[in-house]
A = this chain, B = another copy of it.
Amino acid sequence: MGMSEATEQAAPKAKRPTRAHRREEILAAATRVFGSKGYHQGSLVDVAAQVGITHAGVLHHFGSKDKLLWEVLEYRDRVDVQHLEGKHIPGGLDLFRHLVTTARLNADRRGIVQAYAVLTGESVTDGHPASSWVAQRFAVLRGEISQAVRDLATERDVRLPDGEAERAANAVIAVMDGLQLQWLLDPEAVDLAEATRFAIESVLTATLGSPVQIASA
């Protein structure tokens, strides 16, 4: 908790890397490794090599491979949200704009998308350490997106059948994940941002019964 502020920056000397800095390096490396090889296949040796230390050094910082994975996932969330100005997730149509914007950004961050895709796929295997994280993530997204759908519905005086908002939310989440998969395997065949916008607009239009358009920032 109460660390002295002086230890953080102040001296830009490149002596021994500070703990915080080193950890960040390792997290970035782990993201790359898990992204390109998966969690099971990506080894601590791989991660360590990328920051120029041994695998024992990585364990010194993170304790175990499982814990490292956890922090990688949190790290991804942190990075993901930090570009968001408002600092909190928007609602209504803004949420969907945000999703499309994220897709556009993702098209230039193949590594992160790959890590997410691989981990999500792997997570459906028995007893995978990331499965609850992924499930939780889906649940949260489902809640936020379905709420945004309901917002749009009331905004446009549309009465939604029971469970329709959730169905739409599930479809939106599904389409985003699925498109990422296709894009990773064949970037030529899919324009990630455009395809995402198209798909989300389709779902919203069909759900609300009137055309919905998402501006292309």
On whether the beta carbons of A171 and B167 are closer than 8 Å, the reply is: no
Total copies of the chain: 2
Q: Given A36-B125, A125-B37, is A181 in contact with B185 using a C-beta cutoff of 8 Å?
A: no
CB of A93 within 8 Å of the partner chain = no
Alpha-carbon separation in the docked complex, A50 to B97 (Å) = 49
CB of A152 within 8 Å of the partner chain = no
CB of A101 within 8 Å of the partner chain = no
A184 partner, pick from B124, B185, B201, beta carbons under 8 A: B124
Tell me which of A123, A125, A167 has the highest count of chain B C-beta atoms within 10 A of its own C-beta. Answer: A125
A37-51 contacts to B (CB < 8 Å): 37-38, 40-41
Residues of A at under 8 Å CB distance from B?
36-38, 40-41, 114, 117-118, 120-126, 131, 134-135, 138-139, 142, 167-168, 170-171, 173-179, 181-182, 184-186, 189-190, 194-195, 198-199, 201-203, 205-207
Which chain B residues border A124 with CB–CB below 8 Å? 114, 117-118, 121, 181, 184-185
A174 partner, pick from B118, B120, B125, B181, beta carbons under 8 A: B181
Alpha-carbon separation in the docked complex, A170 to B168 (Å) = 17
Q: Given A170-B190, A179-B174, is A123 in contact with B203 using a C-beta cutoff of 8 Å?
A: no
On whether the beta carbons of A171 and B199 are closer than 8 Å, the reply is: yes
On whether the beta carbons of B206 and A202 are closer than 8 Å, the reply is: yes
On whether the beta carbons of A138 and B185 are closer than 8 Å, the reply is: yes
On whether the beta carbons of B125 and A189 are closer than 8 Å, the reply is: no
Q: Given A36-B126, A125-B36, is A186 in contact with B41 using a C-beta cutoff of 8 Å?
A: no
On whether the beta carbons of A125 and B135 are closer than 8 Å, the reply is: no
On whether the beta carbons of A139 and B186 are closer than 8 Å, the reply is: yes
- Chain B: CB-nearest residue to A164: B198
Which chain B residues border A184 with CB–CB below 8 Å? 124
On whether the beta carbons of A181 and B121 are closer than 8 Å, the reply is: yes
